[in-house]
Amino acid sequence: MRRAFISPAKYVQGENEILNLGYFIKTFGESALLIASKDDAARVKDKLVHTMKEYGVTIVESGFNGECSRQEVARLQQLAKEHNCACTIGLGGGKAIDAAKCVAEGEALIIVPTIAATDAPTSHSAVLYTPEGEFDDYAYFKQSPSVVLIDTTVIANAPTRFLVAGMGDALSTYFEARATAKSYSNVNAGLPCGRIEGVGEPAKGTKAALALAKLCYETLLEDGYKAKLASDANIVTPALENIIETNILLSGLGFESGGLAAAHAIHNGLTALEGAHHFFHGEKVAFTTIVQLVLENAHKEELDEVLGFCVSVGLPVCLADIGVHEVTREELMNVAVKACIPEESIHSMPFPVTPDDVVGAMIVADQLGQQFKARI
């Protein structure tokens, strides 16, 4: 059986860590292209100036337009070439990070998240959009980022909602990896969607990935609420440090090397419900994790544990919590059909899943969430 595990070459996390960014640039050369929104670049401007002086490097600002499109990627690659940049820095949220991955194409890439809202910073994939912001395609690269650099002081000063959303994304990691392991399904660490030539055959997950995914869940239960309080106060505590690592590193390694299953597929189906569009990825994944547990007929104790965690940190547990206050069975079926298309990860569940199964699980999960909130 072929197994695969993928990870960044280096992960570094600490207070004011951006002050050391120049050291990592220096390992590649004398200059780097910075891909970041104006606001994100301004938030850390003093640290960027300090690290350039400290390590004698140049950081070239790119004027990133905010959209990870093919056109913007081509412009940024040309800019990097004109300035002879030795590496690429993706600083900020998802689209800046994805644009940096596309520009670097798997080489000399430093990722510096300013929020801990998803597990995308460690991955070797990106999402491309049109210049108008509509989904275009997925992109996969031969390896994960060279360096993932986390400044916990910056993340502690970001709105807490981002951190909580990251916990929602991380919440699904263990349950999806567990399902993938039971079904012996392929994982993204192998050959993702057959889009990379010469990489080899698809691969199954490793025991290491499943163990990290389980640690991800255990750390959420142990430190999630305490980390939320620290974020509310904009201070770095051991609990916040643990949850930042959980949201970004443990969840990132867990999802790519452990596998995705029903939770993320049903999340993707939720694009059919307009009311859910204004909620973050991880907020919706928290609810769809409960849906997956219903599909699995999980023990009541496990369901209650997940529901209790979500309520404690402010994650959604029912459809109303993600903006869906009224919904018809036909609308839910549209979600379910999207979730069950042949290429979706729902087929990594250890049993066949039909759109009817998904509709039923969403209805029951919604009721469970409502009833749990009414009891507390």
The residues annotated as belonging to the active site are 169, 264, 267, 281
State how far the Cα of 226 lies from the Cα of 239, in Å rounded to an integer.
6
User: Is 226 labelled a binding residue?
Assistant: no
278 annotated binding-site participant: no
Please say whether the dihedral angle defined by the alpha carbons of residues 139, 142, 146 and 150, taken in this order, is positive or negative. Answer: positive
Give the DSSP H or E segment for 151.
strand 147-151
Q: Is 96 annotated as a binding-site member?
A: yes
* 94 annotated ligand binder: yes
151: annotated binding-site residue? no
Contacts (Cβ under 8 Å, ≥6 apart) of 1: 184, 204
**Is 83 flagged in the annotation as binding?**
no
**CA-based R_g, the chain, Å:** 20
Judge contact between 62 and 72, C-beta under 8 A.
no
Enumerate residues 6+ apart whose C-beta is below 8 A from 194. Answer: none
Instruction: Report in angstroms the alpha-carbon separations of 333 from 273, 357, 366.
Output: 11, 10, 15
Scored b (16 or more CB within 10 A) or e, 131-159 reads: eeeeeeeebbbeebbbbbbbbbbbbbebe
Query: Binding residue per annotation — 123?
Result: yes
Determine if residue 174 is labeled as part of a ligand binding site. no
CA gap 283, 375 in Å, rounded: 22
Write the Ramachandran bin of 67: left for phi over 0, alpha for psi from -120 to 50, otherwise beta. beta
Residue 259 tokens, joined: 């596998």
What residues contact residue 41 under an 8 Å CB cut-off, 6+ apart? 34, 48, 61, 91, 92
- Sign of the Cα torsion 176, 179, 183, 184 reads positive
For 92, the token pair is 């900020």
Tell me whether residue 97 is annotated as binding.
yes
Residue 134 to residue 250: CA distance in whole angstroms: 29
Please choose, from the candidates 262, 232, 251, 280, the residue with its C-alpha nearest in 3D space to the C-alpha of residue 171: 251
Residue numbers belonging to the annotated binding site for NAD(+)? 94-98, 123, 129
Residue numbers belonging to the annotated binding site for glycerol? 119, 169, 264, 281
Residue numbers belonging to the annotated binding site? 94-98, 119, 123, 129, 169, 264, 281
